[in-house]
Amino acid sequence: MKNNNKFLWLTMIFSVLTMQACKKYLEIQPPKNQLTTDKIFADSASANSAIAGIYVNMYQSLSLNLASGGLTLYPGLSGDEMAQSATDVNISQLFNNQINPNNTINASLWTSAYKFVYDVNACIEGINASPNLPVSVKTNLLAEAKQIRAFLYFNLVNLYGPVPLQRSTDYHVNQSMARFPVDSIYSQIITDVTFAQANLLKNNMAERANFYSATALLAKVQLYRKNYVAAESESSKIIGSGIYSLEPNLNNVFLNSSNETIWKIIPVFPGFATLEGYFFVPSSTTVAPKYPITGQLNNSFETGDQRKVKWTNYRIIKGVSYPYPYKYKVGRTTATITENYSIFRLAEQYLIRAEARTNQNNILGAVADLNVIRTRAGLPNTLASDKASLLLAIEKERQSELFCEWGNRWFDLQRTNRADVVLPAVKPNWNHNSILYPIPINEISRNPNLVQNPGY
């Protein structure tokens, strides 16, 4: 009951915040008994609750939006990770790489992401406008908000390419905004996350943004931008911090007590654990998983890989085996939540550094990092010994370690230009334009300055 009350309180506070931000263009007066933005940001506790409300807002419904499992499932279907056991036209379009611009799932990814961006911008404006918040509190909360905004735009730019770069709640500006170039989006991401890194606390409170989660995001961004010296430097800050360590038991990696979790979202919807657990794990032993993993992924694990043993499971229904993701093992529950929804974890930082080192021809250093991950998985050391073979080995290791997590596989194939090599073998309808999702048709109808992606 205590957690439910907290959930309801944060939802109420944040709903008021968003409504008040909307007032700028709706031009309505709030009822006399209604909270206003200046009151929400009048003191440190309320302002902190507003930022906490962003996380609640990102995870408070049973829909798989950009921040609550959708970024795992939908790119997983478009790539080579996940399949469907039942027919749904929107899901089939994702799986067959034939996404119609009016696809409702794709629209939900876009609209949820921009709703969260709007929420963050409303917080930034409210914090900046507050005359009462101590400077240190202002700076810390602004840093947290900007890290969240950077994370949202990182995923948007990798799903859609150029996107509108909304940095305020000004409806008149946002409603007609054109798409910004990818370089401009990344420039804003780096600006935001660098500010966050410089102003967040160095602690291990993974449920809120901190110095290390900002650093993890920055390491990933620099890797994607091929800034390998910077990517190695940022990942090394986390690996060498002494705060995080790999969980020896793979079953513990996604628990609340995990020592390798850098940033996480706490499940807050009453009666449920993680939404990935709810959607991926069958409700009984007689039910097939709704979203099994593909045969390609299931067969890609090396012999003896404990990640296949601990992080996948299967149901046999009428003689047919359906493997499914099993990183999150609990769906519906009324008990204490034991699993966190991990955004960043230490293992990814080793793989980021391994790839960054490989691209700087530090083969020995890269091999050492790669073997840390392989050893934990119960595998022998890699046989890769030159740049070309090592890059392929790292790609393979990222697939095995980060499968069904936040679209990592889909984004990896995109950023390395490997999608056109890997996916045609398992995707008959594959074409190069499929690597970016279409801009939802409703958004283009509302904003004539939005230009559709090629091929749609």
Q: Are 174 and 166 in contact (CB under 8 A)?
A: yes
- What is the token pair recorded at 360? 């700087």
- The C-alpha atoms of residue 30 and residue 16 are separated, in whole angstroms, by 10
Positions of E strands within 341-401: 341-345
Across 252-270, average pLDDT: 91
Predicted confidence at residue 62, as pLDDT, reads 59
Give residue-wise pLDDT tens across range 310-337: 999 999 999 999 999 999 999 877 678 8
Q: Are 268 and 56 in contact (CB under 8 A)?
A: yes
Q: Is the dihedral of CA 281, 405, 389, 97 positive or negative?
A: positive
User: Domain range spanning residue 270?
Assistant: 237-399
- What is the token pair recorded at 278? 């709810």
Across 226-238, average pLDDT: 99
- The C-alpha atoms of residue 443 and residue 95 are separated, in whole angstroms, by 23
Give residue-wise pLDDT tens across range 51-62: 999 988 887 665
CA 65, chain centre distance (Å): 10
Predicted confidence at residue 63, as pLDDT, reads 67
- The C-alpha atoms of residue 385 and residue 388 are separated, in whole angstroms, by 9
3-state secondary structure 144-188: HHHHHHHHHHHHHHHHHCCECCCCCCCHHHHCCCCCECHHHHHHH
How does 223-238 read in b/e, with b if 16+ C-beta sit within 10 Å?
bbbebbebbbbbbbbb
Predicted confidence at residue 85, as pLDDT, reads 79
How does 98-119 read in b/e, with b if 16+ C-beta sit within 10 Å?
ebebebebbbbbbebbbbbbbb
- What is the token pair recorded at 444? 């283009």
- The C-alpha atoms of residue 55 and residue 9 are separated, in whole angstroms, by 13
Predicted confidence at residue 59, as pLDDT, reads 77
Give residue-wise pLDDT tens across range 278-296: 899 998 899 999 999 999 9
- The C-alpha atoms of residue 162 and residue 305 are separated, in whole angstroms, by 38
Q: Is residue 280 part of a domain?
A: yes
How does 339-349 read in b/e, with b if 16+ C-beta sit within 10 Å?
bbbbbbbbbbb
Terminal CA-CA length for the chain: 48
Q: Is residue 391 part of a domain?
A: yes
Lowest mean pLDDT among 58-62, 269-273, 368-372, 431-435: 58-62
Q: Is residue 282 part of a domain?
A: yes
Residues 6+ apart with CB under 8 A from 189: 150, 153, 154, 157, 221
Residues 6+ apart with CB under 8 A from 125: 21, 168, 169
Average pLDDT, the chain: 91
Q: Is residue 327 part of a domain?
A: yes
Residue 308: give its domain's CATH number.
1.25.40
Give residue-wise pLDDT tens across range 142-191: 999 999 999 999 999 999 999 999 999 999 999 999 999 999 999 999 99
- The C-alpha atoms of residue 456 and residue 325 are separated, in whole angstroms, by 31
Predicted confidence at residue 272, as pLDDT, reads 79
- CA dist 423 to 291, 413, 415, 417, 449, Å? 19, 9, 14, 11, 32
pLDDT over 70 percentage in the chain: 91
Q: Are 200 and 143 in contact (CB under 8 A)?
A: yes
Task: Report the amino acid identity of residue 268.
Answer: V
pLDDT at 411 over 50: yes
Residues 6+ apart with CB under 8 A from 148: 54, 116, 120, 209
Predicted confidence at residue 60, as pLDDT, reads 67
Query: Sorting pLDDT into bands at 50, 70 and 90, what band is 213?
Result: very high
Task: Report the amino acid identity of residue 380.
Answer: P
- The C-alpha atoms of residue 280 and residue 254 are separated, in whole angstroms, by 15
Q: Is residue 250 part of a domain?
A: yes
Give residue-wise pLDDT tens across range 177-201: 999 999 999 999 999 999 999 999 9
Query: Sorting pLDDT into bands at 50, 70 and 90, what band is 35?
Result: very low
If one counts the domains in the chain, the total is: 1
Q: Is residue 336 part of a domain?
A: yes
Q: Are 367 and 386 in contact (CB under 8 A)?
A: no
Predicted confidence at residue 273, as pLDDT, reads 82
- The C-alpha atoms of residue 3 and residue 78 are separated, in whole angstroms, by 36
Predicted confidence at residue 334, as pLDDT, reads 66
Task: Report the amino acid identity of residue 151.
Answer: F
Q: What is the DSSP letter of 426?
A: T
pLDDT at 3 over 90: no
Q: Is residue 383 part of a domain?
A: yes
Across 27-47, average pLDDT: 65
pLDDT over 90 percentage in the chain: 80
Query: Sorting pLDDT into bands at 50, 70 and 90, what band is 36?
Result: low
pLDDT at 254 over 60: yes
Q: Is residue 445 part of a domain?
A: no
Across 54-73, average pLDDT: 82
Residues 6+ apart with CB under 8 A from 2: none
261-265 and 312-317 beta bridge pairing? unpaired
Give residue-wise pLDDT tens across range 100-158: 999 999 999 999 999 999 999 999 999 999 999 999 999 999 999 999 999 999 999 99
CA 311, chain centre distance (Å): 19
Q: Are 270 and 327 in contact (CB under 8 A)?
A: no
pLDDT at 32 over 80: no
- What is the token pair recorded at 11? 């939802």
Residues 6+ apart with CB under 8 A from 205: none
